Amino acid sequence: MAAAAATAPADAAATPDAGAAAAASKPIGHYLGANDMLLRRDSAGEWVRMAPRSPLTAGQQLLALPAFRTLVVLADMNVYLTGGARVELLPAAAAADGPVDVAMHLPFGQAILNAGLNGNRVLLSLVDQERVVELGPSSSLAIEVRRIFEPGGLQQRTPAPAEVTWYLTSGRATRAGGAEVQAPATWTTIAGQDSTPEPLDEAPGWVDRDPLSTLERGARDRVAEALLADEPVNLKLRELSDKTGLGRRVEVRTLAARCGTYVGLFEPIVRALGDVDQRAFWKSHIESLRDAIARDPGSVEAIHAALEMERGAQAADDLMEMVLGFDRAAVGTTREEVQQGALLRLLRWMENEDLVYRVLALYNVNQITGTTNLGGYRPEQTAQQRERAMRFYWQALDNGDLIRKP
């Protein structure tokens, strides 16, 4: 695979802000900047931290980084963005069945909509479909849009399907067709189809609060302190991921690496896979890389370039293959196919001298087989310790016991 620049847009559908035209248009809301953080995409395609008390206009692309719970005001509606949420503000033009107060595109992430005293009619563009929801006075509706990663090679890399979950936690909402839903209720949108609302027993933790540990809050505050208003964030995120610089604390490096995947910066998270101090986060780092690919298949080129920069050209193809994962055809279904398929290569990679090879190989083996570190194998162990543990894997492969979990 040819090398490419190591940064890429965080969403294939992204386009730069409308620039001066958008800035000159009438504000449709405001970002208050009360102990949180919001990024906007500028005319050069860079993600820049917004200053507090900034107006929001149609055409702007906004991003709330992971670990941040960011408040924006749109019309008279309070909207919280969390979970690494990306939003594009759309003109509040009339929908097919009437005018709307707020319109936005939410390709991934979590948003909590708190309606004003008179209620709000909202147009939500969700990846490849739209929904109009009318919220009753002071009603609250939380939305989570997830892009589902499917393991497999480059040939099947298309924008990942979206799964949308809705949580009506207070008040009422009127869905398409005039069907009214009373809180508490939840429903899903999968493959363009809305499920029947069901009673909501308990909302996810992110809906009402900030579900972070003390260490995670400290890391978030350190990132917020380092990223400066009206400046691109990539340089500071690099510094925050450097253990000799601003990232002396492991939890800060971990969060900075994760944030980087949302702005097309992948060197920090690739480097983290070879950082023994971050071994507790290796699994989540690999999942962050896969989530980035699910959000934007174009990220593959930037991730490959980061792998080549950090580990060398010879290793980059192997490592990228493990990031992308292996589908059923690559693993095999019969005993003979499994013994000659992807698992054979993965076990050999678990014996590689390169730590990143071992980290990615073990993750894939665990995902494929449903096992967890047979024989006590750990990528960071000494060669002698790993050799003892690998006997369990080779014996299981010979016996036909390493089968793909259902």
Q: Read off the pLDDT of residues 44-101 as tens digits, 9 standing for 90 and up.
A: 999 999 999 999 999 999 999 999 999 999 999 999 999 999 999 999 876 677 889 9
- 251 and 196 belong to one structural domain: no
DSSP three-state, residue 383: helix
Does 98 map to a domain? yes
- Enter the DSSP assignment of 53: T
Does 268 map to a domain? yes
Does 29 map to a domain? yes
Does 238 map to a domain? yes
Range of the domain at 151: 20-208
The percentage of residues in the chain with a pLDDT greater than 70, rounded to a whole number, is 92
Domain total in the chain: 3
- 231 and 170 belong to one structural domain: no
- 220 and 201 belong to one structural domain: no
The secondary structure of 282-314 as a DSSP string is HHHHHHHHHHHHHH-TTHHHHHHHHHHHHH-HH
Q: Residue 227 corresponds to which tokens in the numbers above?
A: 């990223």
Confidence (pTM): 0.90
Mean confidence (pLDDT) of the chain: 91
pLDDT at 155: 62
Q: What is the mean pLDDT of residues 1-7?
A: 44
Does 321 map to a domain? no
Does 203 map to a domain? yes
- 220 and 293 belong to one structural domain: yes
- 64 and 186 belong to one structural domain: yes
- 85 and 197 belong to one structural domain: yes
Cα separations (Å) of 225 from 145, 208, 219, 250? 28, 24, 10, 17
Question: For residue 316, is pLDDT > 70?
Answer: yes
3-state secondary structure 79-148: EEEEEEEEEEEECCCCECCECCCEEEEEEEEEEEEECCCCCEEEEEEECCEEEEEEECCCCEEEEEEEEC
- 31 and 175 belong to one structural domain: yes
The answer to whether residues 168 and 181 touch, using CB atoms and an 8 Å cutoff, is: yes
The answer to whether residues 72 and 61 touch, using CB atoms and an 8 Å cutoff, is: no
Domain boundary residue among 281, 315, 349? 315
Domain boundary residue among 189, 208, 227? 208
Q: What is the mean pLDDT of residues 324-344?
A: 94
- 41 and 160 belong to one structural domain: yes
Domain boundary residue among 175, 208, 241? 208
pLDDT at 403: 76
- 40 and 176 belong to one structural domain: yes
Angle, in degrees to the nearest 10, between helices 313-324 and 282-295: 80
Kindly indicate the confidence band of residue 19, based on its pLDDT and cuts at 50, 70 and 90. Answer: very low
- 30 and 107 belong to one structural domain: yes
Residue 82 to residue 64: CA distance in whole angstroms: 6
Does 75 map to a domain? yes
Does 11 map to a domain? no
Residue 254 host element (H or E): helix 250-260
- 185 and 218 belong to one structural domain: no
Q: Which residue has the higher pLDDT, 371 or 256?
A: 256
Contacts of 133 (CB under 8 A, 6+ apart): 121, 122, 124, 141, 173, 174, 175
Residue environment code for 170-179, b if the CB has 16+ CB neighbours within 10 A, otherwise e: ebbbbbeeee
- 189 and 169 belong to one structural domain: yes
DSSP three-state, residue 379: coil
